[in-house]
Structure 1
Amino acid sequence: MNEAPDVRLTAWIRGRVQGVGFRWYTRATALEIGGLSGFATNLTDGRVQVVAEGPKESCELLLTWLTGPDTPGRVDGVTEIWDVPRGAYPTFEIR
């Protein structure tokens, strides 16, 4: 049985997501899920951008967390796109 190829998830999270530990918890959740690399960064318009690369199932788990009730602050919405991974990230970091 072949393993599914890795994917790249880019998500933009809007709401009250800056200054509430959102990036820290996103990184902790990504590391807990395992197999993910990428980053979480604040954008100047108040959103947080998350880029995660790894197994599709792991990226889907992270997206479920991002859109769920357990995130810090308040998430009003998430826009996501899926792509092929670029392999540019050695770990999951906060930027």
Structure 2
Amino acid sequence: MSDDDAGDVRLTAYVHGHVQGVGFRWWTRSRALELGLVGYAANQPDGRVLVVAQGPQAAVDVLVDALRSDATPGRVDLVVDSYDAPCGDLTGFVEK
């Protein structure tokens, strides 16, 4: 993926709730890979999970909808998301 891919965005989302120790990062990685996104899901010291995902706007929207759904492991109380221009610093999708 290159910086000039038309329609690509970079999502930064903080997921609040009971989302650590329940397979949430693995689940997020699986959804992102199915959608062809690159990025990572990382536990935060305060109990949130940070999700950074980059790719086509439509695929990122599907991921955000999945993060907000009742299908996630654990319990999601809130997803705080923001969007930026894509960067070329991500490859694959990993759990951190």
What's the TM-score once normalised by structure 2's chain length? 0.92
User: Please, which runs of 5 or more residues in structure 2 have no aligned partner?
Assistant: none
After superposition, where does 1:9-88 map in structure 2 within 5 Å? 9-34=11-36, 36-88=37-89
Work out whether 1:92 is the aligned partner of 2:88: no
For structure 1, which segment, 48-57 or 85-94, has the greater mean C-alpha deviation from structure 2 after superposition?
85-94
User: Please, which runs of 5 or more residues in structure 1 have no aligned partner?
Assistant: none
Task: Give 3-state SS (helix, strand or coil) of 1:68's partner.
Answer: coil
Q: Distance in 2 between matches of 1:16 and 1:89?
A: 27
Give the CA deviation at 1:33: 1.6
Q: Percent identity?
A: 52
What's the TM-score once normalised by structure 1's chain length? 0.93
Aligned residues: 92
